[in-house]
Amino acid sequence: MEFSAKQIADILSGDVVGDSNVTVNGLSKIEEGTSGTLSFLSNPKYEEYIYKTGSSICIVNKSFQPSKALPDTLTLVKVDNAYSSFAKLLDFYNQLQIKPAKIEQPSFFSESAKAGEGLYLGAFAYIGDNVTLGENVKVYPNAYVGDNVTIGNNTILFPGVKVYANCVIGQNCILHSGVIIGSDGFGFAPNEEGEYQKIPQIGNVILEDNVEVGSNSTIDRATMGSTILRRGVKIDNLVQIAHNVEIGKNTAVAAQAGIAGSAKIGAQVQIGGQAGIAGHLHIAEGTQIVAQSGIPNTVKRKSVLMGSPAIDIEDYKKSYFGFRKLPFILKKIQEFDNHIKATKKD
């Protein structure tokens, strides 16, 4: 699909400097630009590349003034904010790639299920009994939607997504390939023989609006009640969220993090990759947790935490500096001890 410089400027409310009819059919980094591609420049550190890029069109800030000659083949589209405008253009392009309304065969759509206008249902997808799908929902091939599930408008389930029975997915959500919503929580109790007896998990999962879940992440259903991800939560790939967890709005969780059962995470928390959070605790709103940190206790106030068990990041840095000096300190202690022993012999 091709776009001209004029079309791009119209989408972004920008101004064309150069050939308004030049077209592009792909994207590239400015340092790797080739003919027929679109790039952008927002960070001054990369300005040197605009003077030798092969890109046909480059989005720049209106404040940009070239310090030397630009390539003759380059057309500029000047906008208020090059970075956000490029992101807007990417989103526009992405929307064009979303499947149009269509029901492919073979697929299964229960007679008791309901769907709004604009449904795309891919081949081998399954829609169970009493499911309610909003308008413009996209269910890609090999996805499964269990009985009594509700999915809001404009939500996308990419290939292989599994949504178990009774779960609720809000509007404008994106579930990437391999996501599992509503599998059983890890609930077992040892009996008198020391064997683990399964505790039935009869709750569900609720994702509010604008939630995005990365590939192969799992969100367990509650033992009773609901596991809840509030509005705007963003989950990376390979994240495990256990039963009865609640995550506050606009919180972000990076890859391979794990959150144990019944933990309550506040709004606008940032959780780094491979972090682990113990169950039945609370994390204060706005807290930042550095990658690979372990959180064993409740965090009562907004803070930046690092380490396992995690402590305030400034305390961690001081402690780590001391830890790195341990071999030197031990050596000095040994030398001092040897000196004392030698003195006593004299």
- Residues 51-101: tens digit of each pLDDT: 999 999 999 999 999 999 999 999 999 999 999 999 998 888 877 778 889
Number of residues in the chain: 346
Classify residue 71 by its DSSP letter. Answer: P
CA 135 to chain centre: 24
Classify residue 74 by its DSSP letter. Answer: -
pLDDT recorded at residue 343: 82
What are the chain's domains? 3-97 (3.40.1390.10), 102-316 (2.160.10.10)
| Half-sphere exposure at residue 17, Cβ-oriented, CA atoms within 13 angstroms | 17
Cα 121 to Cα 261: distance, rounded to the nearest angstrom:
34
Classify residue 25 by its DSSP letter. Answer: -
Phi–psi pair at 220, nearest 5 degrees: -80, 145
The one catalytic residue among 176, 243, 280, 282: 243
pLDDT recorded at residue 296: 96
The answer to whether 131 and 152 have CB atoms below 8 angstroms apart is no
Q: Is the peptide bond before 200 cis (omega within 30 degrees of 0)?
A: no
pLDDT recorded at residue 304: 97
pLDDT recorded at residue 98: 80
The answer to whether 59 and 82 have CB atoms below 8 angstroms apart is yes
How does pLDDT run along the chain (346 residues), one tens digit per residue?
A: 789 999 999 999 999 999 999 999 999 999 999 999 999 999 999 999 999 999 999 999 999 999 999 999 999 999 999 999 999 988 888 777 788 899 999 999 999 999 999 999 999 999 999 999 999 999 999 999 999 999 999 999 999 999 999 999 999 999 999 999 999 999 999 999 999 999 999 999 999 999 999 999 999 999 999 999 999 999 999 999 999 999 999 999 999 999 999 999 999 999 999 999 999 999 999 999 999 999 999 999 999 999 999 999 999 988 888 888 888 888 888 888 888 888 877 6
Which pair of tokens denotes residue 93?
């392009």
Cα 307 to Cα 316: distance, rounded to the nearest angstrom:
7
Cα–Cα nearest to 267, from 282, 253, 247: 247
**pLDDT tens column, 194-223:** 999 999 999 999 999 999 999 999 999 999
Q: What is the pLDDT of the chain when averaged over all its residues?
A: 95
pLDDT recorded at residue 78: 97
pLDDT recorded at residue 346: 62
Which pair of tokens denotes residue 54?
């092969």
pLDDT recorded at residue 221: 98
SS (H, E, C) 94-148: HHHHCCCCEECCCCEECCCCEECCCCEECCCCEECCCCEECCCCEECCCCEECCC
Specify the pTM: 0.84
Element housing 60 (H / E)? strand 57-61
Question: How many secondary structure helices (H) and strands (E) does the chain include?
Answer: 5, 40
CA distances from 139 to 3, 116, 118, 235 (A): 28, 13, 11, 19
Cα 68 to Cα 264: distance, rounded to the nearest angstrom:
55
SS (H, E, C) 254-279: CCCCEECCCCEECCCCEECCCCEECC
Which ranges of the chain does DSSP label H, i.e. alpha helix? Answer: 5-12, 47-50, 82-97, 313-324, 326-345
By DSSP bridging, strand 108-109 and strand 114-115 are: unpaired
The answer to whether 261 and 281 have CB atoms below 8 angstroms apart is no
Q: Taking each helix axis from N to C terminus, what angle separates 313-324 and 326-345, rounded to the nearest 10 degrees?
A: 40
| 339 labelled catalytic | no
